[in-house]
Amino acid sequence: MPDRTKTYDVLIAGGGNAALCAAITARQAGASVILLESAPRAFRGGNSRHTRNLRAMHDKPNDVLTDAYPEDEYWDDLLRVTGGNTDEALARMTIRASSGVFGWMQANGVRFQPSLTGTLNLGRTNAFFLGGGKALVNAYYVTAERLGIEILYDTEVLSLNLDDGAVRSVDITYRGFPETLHARCVVAASGGFQANLDWMRQNWGDAVDNFVIRGTPYNRGRVLKNLLDQGVASIGDPTQCHAVALDARAPKFDGGITTRLDSVPFSIVVNQLGERFYDEGEDVWPKRYAIWGRLIAQQPEQIAYSICDAKAFPLFMPSVYPAIKADTLAELAAKLKLDPDKVQATVAAYNAAVVPGQSFDNTKLDGNRTKGLTPDKTNWARTIDKPPFYGYPLRPGITFTYLGVRVNERAQVLMENGQPAGNLYASGEIMAGNILGRGYLAGFGMTIGTVFGRIAGQEAARHARN
Amino acid sequence: MRETDALANARREMEICNACRYCEGFCAVFPAMELRREFSAGDLSYLANLCHNCRGCYYACQYAPPHEWGINVPRTFQELRAETYAEYAWPRRFAQLFDRNGTIVSLVTALGIALVLMLAAGLVDPDALYRAHPVVPGSFYAVIPLWAMQATGILTFGFSLIALAMGARNFWRDAGPRERPGPVALGIALWDVLTLKNLGGGGHGCNDASERFSMRRRWLHHAMFYGFFLCFAATCTAFVYGTLFGWEAPYALTSVPVLLGTVGGLLLLVGTVGLFAMKLVDDPMPAARNLLGADVALLMLLALAALTGLVLLALRGTGAMGIALAVHLGVILSLFVALPYSKMVHGVYRTAALLRRATERNMKPLGGE
């Protein structure tokens, strides 16, 4: 039960990594803390429960990271993916702080995996949580409980009531019942709005009905909208989201990592009309997978089909859904509910355009291309002719949204007039757009959440205790 | 391994896990899973028996119930393991002893105790059963003749060893590796068995009852395991003393068999009672409740073996020695008989699975970069 009569030192809106880092830091600084998680206990942790690693700067190898990942390389990577859509001061501060988070994380129960064998080659840049993000979230909740942080599940923050640049009260629903709470400081760590389909519809129209939301259904952006409506400065393009190509059979929400499909560079991708629409071999997959969500979103009915043959099938990670398999292309097209004649014609045209002679190498841009197609496939182009043939249906999968609240280096939320709000801080996805205004960098969301969560917790506790 | 519902569910879960792979740092199961994209019945039997039931993956799983995929690898593998025990049982027709195994092991125990009591009363002067015996060499044999002890022990234990070996062979044919294990693989597997490395959750322990990690299960299992082998060593030493040197039991408190048996018995008691107590407070979600009977029956049987042995040691100079000896030997007889048809077989298949894992240790994961 929340205590209506009490004034908490720090109230945290949200229950994922950024919220927990803020809550634990504030509590360790001596503040009384209440954390409000809108999800039920079983689904606590927001999108953090689907994450796996954290990108960390380091100058020499340590127990969880190989080699070195210096500040400037990290910054260059960020600059490249965002196309400059970032704030250098905040970004560099985050990058530098990322090298010092391990001790704190481990002291608060997070366990890391010693070295990585599978998936992406991220062992140098990213530290992997043992068991993934849900294990990290579990560890933080255990710590939070031990420290005496009051944790409420099924509790949604409806409004942080700002008056004269400070939060005076907080309207919530606790297990469906409305309550009003008071706190000296508030940390907004409640994520983006990608699970709010009505909000998404404003930008994408009815196409959202064919979108898959990869993460939690509880990121509805309620706090974000509430703050922006009250004169908090916004950051990030409100229409943009990180969209990847997913197996179309994925559940609408919470399918997480397993519904991704890495088949595109080794296959051809056709739309519902059986036509190709983009160069599948433009670049290595980790650099291209984030554009395919948007590409598919622009196709009729927001669906596409990846088609390959027996030669290509072993080259990519298994998806959670079995490939649709057939001995002939016509049969495969029929199983995919595509026009068999059209698919056969597309594959025949593609096969005829493949330039033969180069050795195939799936580990680098191998220059095996087609010539004379619109569009051409510029790498890993091999004829599709060895049965059985495999197909996967693809849909756009939304990871997160970019719109957020503007913050300064002390995690204070800024008002439209540029002044920081008196007692309001933000961490995690709700402010990630300050640093990652575009694109995606694996494990960077967790870095931002951890670094800003700790800053927000520290600042909020200090302010509340003064 | 036959295609069953449990097997189909294990395959479904492994296909989801193989597309995720977040749990690969916990134990041997997930790295072993990553070596393949399709799972034959034998592969699944192997993976199920490789699982040590530490539950790390259950609490870490983003797809655990109430998620619509309901991934619960510890429970699923526990259910499948139970089927593999029946599948590989020898002789084949004894497979059904693994249905309602808790009841059967309990019945065997009751019958074993009753049988030895009746035999003791029938074979020797019933009076010897109730008389106070001095603690002198040969006093046990006044209650139960040495030949009867030895014959029964050798016959039942010998049969059990053969049955366990045949079970291991059946497992190996169905779920063993393609390559022959080398000496290095044998060494690695033995080390994994003796240290229970896979109950370490990557070095941090198990999720015994919740999201919290602890080494409790691992230490209790160690106590039980090493306690059992110390008791077994005590029995073997006594056998050697009796047959080779003609030194008759009971032995002095400071003798090797009594020391081994006392320390072993205490460890065995602590381990079994501790593991039983853990079952009372465990989170029921990652456990297959219908298999609890087999678990508890074996734990209780082992605890009884330890307890009755210690009681016998305490009472061996009193008038209760005869009954205490008969009850203890009854429990040991039951243990020998039930061995290949109890949860004890998990040790054999787990060891074999670890051996396959060690044999395949240099294979590369499929998929990914």
pLDDT in tens, A255-302: 999 998 889 999 999 999 999 999 999 998 878 888 999 999 999 999
Residue A451 lies in a domain: yes
A363 to B34: CB separation less than 8 angstroms, yes or no: no
Q: Which residue of A has its CA nearest to B69?
A: A255
Residues A252, A333, single domain; the answer is yes
B19 to A141: CB separation less than 8 angstroms, yes or no: no
Q: Which residues of A touch B65 (CB under 8 A)?
A: 42
Instruction: Flag whether pLDDT at B178 surpasses 70.
Output: yes
Question: Which among A53, A320, A325 is the top mutation candidate for probing chain B, defined by the most B β-carbons within 10 Å of its own β-carbon?
Answer: A320
Tell me what pLDDT residue A119 has: 46
Tokens read off for A249: 């059979």
d(CA A159, CA A215): 23
Q: Which of B31, B61, B65 sits opposite A134 (nearest CB)?
A: B61
3-state secondary structure chain A: CCCCCCEEEEEEECCCHHHHHHHHHHHHCCCCEEEECCCCHHHCCHHHHHCCEEECCECCCCCCCCCCECHHHHHHHHHHHHCCCCCHHHHHHHHHHHCCCHHHHHHCCCCECCCCCCCCCCCCCEEEECCCHHHHHHHHHHHHHHHCCEEECCEEEEEEEEECCEEEEEEEEECCEEEEEEEEEEEECCCCCCCCHHHHHHHHHHHHHHCEECCCCCCCCHHHHHHHHCCECEECCCCCEEEEEEECCCCCCCCHHHHECCCHHHCEEEECCCCECCCCCCCCHHHHHHHHHHHHHCCHHHCEEEEECCCCHHHCCCCCCCCEEECCHHHHHHHCCCCHHHHHHHHHHHHHHECCCCCCCCCCCCCCCECCCCCCCCCCCCCCCCCCEEEEEEEEEEEEECCEECECCCCEEEECCCCEEEEEEECCHHHHCCCCCCCCCCCHHHHHHHHHHHHHHHHHHHHHHC
Q: Give B197 to chain A, closest Cα distance, Å.
A: 15
Q: Which residues of B touch A322 (CB under 8 A)?
A: 15
Tell me what pLDDT residue B367 has: 63
Average pLDDT over residues B4-22: 95
Running DSSP on this structure, what letter comes out for residue B369?
Answer: -
Q: Which of A132, A142, A316 sits opposite B22 (nearest CB)?
A: A132
Q: Which residues of A touch B (CB under 8 A)?
A: 42-43, 49-50, 52, 111, 113-114, 117-121, 128, 130-135, 138-139, 141-142, 251, 254, 256-259, 314, 316-320, 322, 363
Instruction: Flag whether pLDDT at A117 surpasses 80.
Output: no
Q: Which residue of A has its CA nearest to B38?
A: A318
Tell me what pLDDT residue B369 has: 37
Instruction: Flag whether pLDDT at A116 surpasses 60.
Output: no
Average pLDDT over residues B138-143: 86
Question: Which among A17, A258, A259 is the top mutation candidate for probing chain B, defined by the most B β-carbons within 10 Å of its own β-carbon?
Answer: A258
Q: Which of A131, A319, A322 sits opposite B26 (nearest CB)?
A: A131
Residues A29, A176, single domain; the answer is yes
Q: Which residues of A touch B26 (CB under 8 A)?
A: 130-131
Residues A342, A416, single domain; the answer is no
Tell me what pLDDT residue A289 has: 84
A139 to B211: CB separation less than 8 angstroms, yes or no: yes
Residues A223, A175, single domain; the answer is yes
| Amino acid occupying residue B149 | M
B19 to A132: CB separation less than 8 angstroms, yes or no: no
For residue A302, give the nearest of A176, A207, A226, A393 by alpha carbon.
A207
Q: Which residue of B has its CA nearest to A217?
A: B67
pLDDT in tens, B72-115: 999 999 999 999 999 999 999 999 999 999 999 999 999 999 99
Q: Which of B21, B65, B201 sits opposite A118 (nearest CB)?
A: B21
* CATH number assigned to the domain comprising residue A193: 3.50.50.60
Q: Are strands A166-174 and A177-188 parallel, antiparallel or unpaired?
A: antiparallel
Q: Please return the burial class of A363, using the count of CB atoms within 10 Å of its CB with bins 0-12, 13-18 and 19+.
A: exposed
Q: What is the mean pLDDT of chain A?
A: 94
Residues A49, A114, single domain; the answer is yes
For A342, other C-beta atoms within 10 Å of its C-beta total 14
A254 to B67: CB separation less than 8 angstroms, yes or no: yes
Cβ burial B143-164 (10 Å sphere, 16+ → b, else e): bbeeebbeebbeebbeebeebb
Which pLDDT band, with edges at 50, 70 and 90, does A153 fall under? very high
Residues A249, A220, single domain; the answer is no
Residues A325, A225, single domain; the answer is no
Residue A222 lies in a domain: yes
Question: What's the structural domain count of chain A?
Answer: 2
For residue A263, give the nearest of A362, A397, A354, A335 by alpha carbon.
A362
Q: Which of A130, A132, A319 sits opposite B19 (nearest CB)?
A: A319
Q: Give A140 to chain B, closest Cα distance, Å.
A: 10
Which domain range does residue A134 map to? 7-235+402-465
Q: Which residue of B has its CA nearest to A45?
A: B62
Instruction: Flag whether pLDDT at B123 surpasses 90.
Output: no
d(CA B237, CA B229): 12
Judge whether A17 and A51 are in contact, CB under 8 Å: yes
pLDDT in tens, A216-240: 999 999 999 999 999 999 999 999 9
Residues A368, A418, single domain; the answer is no
Tell me what pLDDT residue B147 has: 87
B212 to A52: CB separation less than 8 angstroms, yes or no: no
Residue B16 in contact with partner chain A when CB distance is under 8 A = yes
B62 to A363: CB separation less than 8 angstroms, yes or no: no
Residue A321 lies in a domain: yes
Tell me what pLDDT residue B51 has: 97
Residues A434, A339, single domain; the answer is no
Q: Which residues of B touch A256 (CB under 8 A)?
A: 20, 62-63
Q: What is the mean pLDDT of chain B?
A: 93
For residue A443, give the nearest of A35, A13, A17 by alpha carbon.
A17
Q: Give B19 to chain A, closest Cα distance, Å.
A: 5
Which pLDDT band, with edges at 50, 70 and 90, does A47 fall under? very high
Running DSSP on this structure, what letter comes out for residue B244?
Answer: I
Residues A225, A359, single domain; the answer is no
B19 to A42: CB separation less than 8 angstroms, yes or no: no
Residue A1 lies in a domain: no
Q: Which of A119, A130, A142 sits opposite B368 (nearest CB)?
A: A119
pLDDT in tens, A183-197: 999 999 999 999 999
Residues A198, A252, single domain; the answer is no
pLDDT in tens, A383-436: 999 999 999 999 999 999 999 999 999 999 999 999 999 999 999 999 999 999
Q: Which residues of A touch B11 (CB under 8 A)?
A: none
Last residue of a domain, one of A397, A427, A455: A397
A258 to B202: CB separation less than 8 angstroms, yes or no: no
- How does DSSP assign B175-187, residue by residue? H--SSPP-HHHHH
Q: Which residues of B touch A317 (CB under 8 A)?
A: 19, 367-368
* CATH number assigned to the domain comprising residue A291: 3.90.700.10
Q: How many CB pairs under 8 A join A and B?
A: 104
Residue B209 in contact with partner chain A when CB distance is under 8 A = no
Instruction: Flag whether pLDDT at A443 surpasses 80.
Output: yes
Residue B365 in contact with partner chain A when CB distance is under 8 A = yes
Residues A214, A320, single domain; the answer is no
Which pLDDT band, with edges at 50, 70 and 90, does A118 fall under? very low
Looking at this predicted complex, what is its ipTM? 0.93
pLDDT in tens, B263-308: 999 999 999 999 999 999 989 999 998 789 999 999 999 999 999 9
d(CA A277, CA A268): 9
Domain segments of chain B as ranges: 5-87, 92-359
